[in-house]
Chain A
Amino acid sequence: MSFALTSFKKDLARWRQDVMSTLIWISIPLMIGGLITALMGSDVKPHGVLLMVDQDESFLSELIAGAYSAGELGELISVEKTTLEEGTERINEGDASGLLIIPEGFGDAFLNSEPVTLTLKTNPSQTILPGIITNVTEILLDAGFYAHQLFGDEIDLIKNLGDEPSDAVVGAMAIAIQNKMESVAPQLFPPIIDVEIVEPPPTEPTPPLALLFLPGIILMSVMFSANGIAGDWWREREQGTLRRLVFAPGQLGGFVVGKAMAAAVIIGLVGGLTLLLGFLYHGISWAKLPSSLIWISISGVALFSWFAALQMLFSNQKTASIISSMLLFPLLMVGGSFFPLAVLPGWIAAIGRASPNGFVAHRLTLEITAEGAWSIVASDWLIVIAAAVAGLSICAWRLKSGFARA
């Protein structure tokens, strides 16, 4: 154990000389994570512009414009009145989510139950907001149709009223509308059809998408650092220190353990910094920080040991480095570092969760989104510890079986 500590200190001292690598391991995932968070931040709602060309300028056309920006819909859509030329130009340039053209005579046509066409052009480069605008437009038209069916007589009366209707006529019309409302009220309030609302069983709240990216980003920095530190076996071999180590009596075990301890600390620091920033940004409970940090440190050692074991199988450093890097990026891709496992198609997510880094990222997701800390089950802890021990054993075997001597 004493030499393991010596070896550990030696590696930490050497690591301090290589600040640039550490900065790269930290900065690339942070840069990617920052970009993703900026694009998909949890507080950002989509907002679109509906251009409206009101050629009718009637009470009804004003009513339609108001309907798009009423209530919660107004948080999603802003209505801008414009001319046909400007509106057409802007929608063609993709400068709005939709363009609604209300033709001249729309109000009269509605009152006379004559056919009339509203034109709605949507922006094909957007998906959500044009869909909402289309749905709202269809609902408005349906509402207009039913209003016509229900209050046809009153609409006819309004149509034939002069500029100054008498109070008696207005009063009679109000009473007629009141009577019709009262007659349909039992069906509408409450509806005649009794609907039993069956609520689905309560599900856990879905975490924000940006939070789901966090474990993948952290695992990216862990993977970069694990792969980078794994290359140190080759660096030691190239500078002859592994060979000299073999001359020393019975120190291989301590040397391997020391390297694993150094890897745990370095990966813990690199991953921990990413973790810390993620906790700060997403406001994750600090109670989960120790468990998350220990999880990524131990998992980082397991990943480091397997990257090292893989690299030590090859006959030269260049090949080892190329193969290791070639493996790294597909693993990052499938393991949820670029797309969270939760948003991947089921079969890809299943493969991702079975990949080494995906396994770790998935458990880290559970940990940071669970109610309390230490939610990763004991069997998962045992799996990563066993993986680390197995990987380090292979490294030790390769040292003894000729890797150090070449």
Chain B
Amino acid sequence: MLKVEELSKNYGDFVAVDNISFESGKGTVFGLLGPNGAGKSTTINCVSGLMQPTSGHASVAGHDVVSDGKAARQNLGVVPQEIALYEDLPAVENLRYWGKAYGLRGADLESRVRDVLEYIGLGDRAKDLPKEFSGGMKRRLNFGCGIVHRPPVILLDEPTVGVDPQSRARLFDMVEAERDAGACILYTTHYMEEAERLCDSLAIIDHGKLIAQGTVDQLRAKLGARDVLQLSGHFPVDETKRAIEALVDGGNQDLEFIAQEEESITLTLSQASQHLPAIFKAVSAAGGNVTETSLRSPNLETLFLLLTGTELRE
């Protein structure tokens, strides 16, 4: 349903999206994960026809977004990151308007608008103006406007930014309902827990490049069973490095440096809690001073840290 092939987008010398490819089918949620500025929104903009890619192709339901843009857009529902509603038009009129923009008319439109209003939990607020709504209600209406025309492919660009937990849970339910109804969903986020809950497969993007891709299980397998240990404090760079290497040579074969700076060290190893005393001892002997310790079990966030050496939310 959604296919992206060797897509690139440049702004002068700056490469926002660098030769990325992925594919997603009917009834699946494909996650595009990455920190802010990684290239997620640019990818969405190229797929939605808002921007023209510098090179490569994207197609929606078999229609190329550039050469057959109108048909591609007809099959696409976009829920933009920013709220995009007529604040001075009642909720029901917003849905009607966007339904008509995608060609719905008459009884079909009215029936669909009614269904969507109930679906997004605004049935009793249909005639109220969005400017009177809470942030979560606006998000839900924003979602409703993107799906009112029953698109087979839905692009969700960070739909839960600034949303309260209750509304977030409701949005998750709606995404899952759309997937179960057969929609192909491209979901961008920088919240790993969202991706882990919702996505059947995902790609991790950073600095415009896809650095990992697969199902959640496949990506977890890449990390193995290793924990991520992050030490904060003050660490002489060379001495600390030598001390850690000595630990590896001394039998901790899967101990691996991910990142090292003067004020933090990030390591990955199996069953890290058992090795903490030895690590502390080696770091202290090298002249380091540990003020804070963070031990995390394997997840997508630690995978991102492993792959990029930086925190996802930086």
**Which residues of chain A have a CB within 8 Å of any CB of chain B?**
2-3, 6, 10, 13-14, 17-18, 239-241, 243-251, 405
Contacts and interface: CB of A to CB of B under 8 A. Distances in A.
Interface of B: 45, 48-51, 69-71, 73-74, 76, 78, 80, 82-89, 93, 97-98, 100-103, 105, 129, 145
Contact of B78 (A17, A18, A244): A244
Looking at B84, B85, B97, B101, which has the most chain A CB atoms within 10 Å of its CB?
Answer: B101
A178 B102 CA distance: 103
A247 B142 CA distance: 14
A249 B50 CA distance: 11
A245 B50 contact: no
Contacts of B74: 249
19 contacts: A2-B105, A6-B101, A10-B97, A13-B93, A17-B89, A239-B84, A239-B85, A239-B87, A243-B50, A244-B80, A245-B101, A247-B48, A247-B49, A249-B69, A249-B73, A249-B102, A251-B101, A405-B50, A405-B51
Contacts of B87: 239
Contacts of A248: 73, 98, 101-102
Contacts of B78: 244, 247
Given A14-B89, A17-B88, A240 B101 contact: no
A10 B89 contact: yes
B73 A14 contact: no
B97 A240 contact: no
Nearest to B77: A247
Contact of A240 (B49, B83, B103, B105): B83
Contacts of B71: 249
A210 B24 CA distance: 72
A246 B84 contact: no
Contacts of A244: 78, 80, 84, 98, 145
Contact of A6 (B69, B84, B85, B97): B97
A14 B86 contact: yes
Q: Determine which residue in A10, A17, A245, A249 has the highest number of CB atoms from chain B within 10 A of its CB, and name it.
A: A249
A10 B95 CA distance: 12
Nearest to A248: B101
Nearest to A14: B88
Given A14-B89, A243-B50, A249-B102, 6 more contacts: A2-B100, A10-B93, A13-B89, A240-B80, A248-B73, A248-B102
Contacts of A14: 86, 88-89
Contact of A241 (B48, B86, B93): B86
A239 B73 CA distance: 21
Contacts of A18: 88
Nearest to A244: B84
Rank and list the top 6 A-B pairs by shortest CB-CB distance, nearest first. A240-B84, A248-B101, A249-B73, A244-B84, A17-B88, A247-B78
Contacts of B102: 248-249
A141 to B, nearest CB: 75
Contact of B73 (A6, A13, A240, A247): A247
Contacts of A251: 101
Nearest to A18: B88
A249 B104 CA distance: 12
Contacts of A17: 88-89, 129
Contacts of B84: 239-241, 243-244
A249 B74 CA distance: 6
Contacts of A239: 83-87
Contacts of A241: 84-86
Nearest to B96: A6
Nearest to A15: B88
A219 B88 CA distance: 28
Nearest to B100: A6
B66 to A, nearest CB: 14
A374 B82 CA distance: 50
Q: Of residues A239, A244, A250, which shows the largest number of chain B Cβ atoms within 10 Å of its Cβ?
A: A244
Nearest to A5: B100
Nearest to B71: A249
Contacts of B129: 17
Contacts of B48: 247
A246 B70 CA distance: 11
A382 B88 CA distance: 36
A243 B80 contact: yes
A247 B85 contact: no
Nearest to B48: A247
A240 B50 CA distance: 13
Contacts of A240: 80, 82-85
A94 B69 CA distance: 78
